[in-house]
Chain A
Amino acid sequence: MTPENSLRISIENLERTRCAQWPHAQDNCLTCAMCSGACPVAGVDDFDPRKIVRLISMGMTDAAADSRWPWICTMCGKCEQICPMGIEIPDIIRRLRAMRARDKVPGILQDGLANALRTGNNLGLPKEDFVFILEDVAAEIAEEPGFEEFTVPIDKEGAALLTTIHNKLVNTHTDDLKHWWKIFHAAGEDWTVASDNWEGTSWGYFTGDDEAMRVMAGRIVENMRRLKIKTLLWPE
């Protein structure tokens, strides 16, 4: 939208179809600013949830999508909790994120997601490296008293429980793999982890990419079926 156009906005000329699925399409906002008061990040970079809602209500969706605001917000939901009109502001934020050209998504979010879609994990970590890291950490646990028998069951068909792995736990935080593994061992759990598509994050949630989320969730379901597992532990 050009600045020239933005000056000519009138309520009669709003393009309504684009926002038809959004609950604020009929301009429900009372401008009460309860959302602004509740928002922990209001004021940063001039962000304010009410401004986002006003931009949308006035049809300036592109301006909102091009701004940094949808990415400064963490979609924590304080605003929608307090909104007297029930406007689902975090949902608006996520849809605005989805409107960004994928090469304009900030930070490493899109790179990580593209890696995940291409290789099954955000790091693009090859299977043999993944298995090596898991077995290395398992060997460390086995050196601790009471865990001498510990091994990591990878791709165990018919196991009772499937877990996923947050990519940082096989990258910079490998010690944090040990907590759950020790609990499983002490509980006598019959658990496993898949060597393919083990990623526990789904960054399509952050980038507004529903299709990517479907793909990531579908792969976990495939692992459940392939390995004939009874119970899935939701990713942490």
Chain B
Amino acid sequence: MKEFETVTVFDLLIRYIKDGRIRLDRTRFEGLATYHDPCNYGRRAQKRFGHGFFEEPRWILDQCLENWVDLHPCRENQICCGGGGGALTSGYNEERIYYGRRKMEQIHASGARMMVVPCHSCHGQFNNIKAKYGLPDLSVKYLWELVADCLVWP
């Protein structure tokens, strides 16, 4: 990997913010938000590559929101949303929806009405199952969507 540089979505957003290339307004979202650690960015990256992306997304959230809480458990002990590993495309939908029940219980318990997540599989799963578990109005946002929504621009 010496031929060119690679950056993760977290690295790039943090770079833009720290270098002053983008400015963010922390007052745009007032309701309580929460964050879900995707298995592959967190626990599995920690195991495979020796670094789980736990702190980076939380730092970015702090730049965008004044009012967010963690789920319990979270970070390396989080519970999978049920949409990973290709589950959204395997056709075993009944199993996938049932799988998501514990994650949805966590979100209920947090009181959050916005879920921020940096993974396409998790994002798809939350939107697919939220109504079934009594949170039809849960706003599911990509981490970079939250950043774009908070941009001070022009």
Binding site for B on A (CB under 8 A): 40-41, 44-45, 68, 71-78, 80-81, 90, 93, 106-109, 112, 145-146, 161, 166, 168, 176, 178-180, 182-183, 185-189, 201, 203, 205-207, 221, 224-225, 229-234, 236
Contacts and interface: CB of A to CB of B under 8 A. Distances in A.
A75 B95 contact: no
Given A44-B99, A74-B84, A180-B148, 8 more contacts: A40-B82, A40-B99, A41-B99, A44-B95, A71-B90, A78-B79, A176-B142, A179-B144
Nearest to B146: A179
B16 interface: yes
B43 A107 contact: no
A74 B85 contact: yes
Interface string B121-151: 0001000000000000000001011011101
B22 A183 contact: yes
A224 B4 contact: yes
B145 to A, nearest CB: 4
Contacts of A183: 13, 16, 22, 144, 147-148, 151
A68 B96 CA distance: 13
Nearest to A162: B4
Given A40-B102, A188-B21, A166 B120 contact: yes
Contacts, number: 147
A44 B148 contact: no
Contacts of A44: 95, 98-99
Contacts of B85: 73-76, 93, 206
Contacts of B151: 182-183, 186
B9 interface: yes
A221 B142 CA distance: 26
Interface string B71-98: 0000011011011111101111001001
Contacts of A203: 86, 89
A189 B57 CA distance: 21
Contacts of A81: 43, 47, 76-77
B5 A230 contact: yes
B99 to A, nearest CB: 5
A137 B118 CA distance: 22
Interface residues of B, number: 48
Given A76-B85, A107-B90, A183-B151, A233 B9 contact: yes
A41 B83 CA distance: 12
Contact of A236 (B9, B76, B83, B103): B9
A78 B79 CA distance: 8
A17 B80 CA distance: 33
Nearest to A90: B44
Nearest to B82: A74
Contact of B144 (A168, A180, A201): A180
B153 to A, nearest CB: 4
B121 to A, nearest CB: 9
Q: Which 6 A-B pairs have the closest CB atoms?
A: A206-B86, A146-B154, A76-B80, A107-B91, A74-B85, A179-B148
B22 A176 contact: no
Interface in B6-55: 6-9, 12-13, 16, 21-22, 39, 43-44, 47
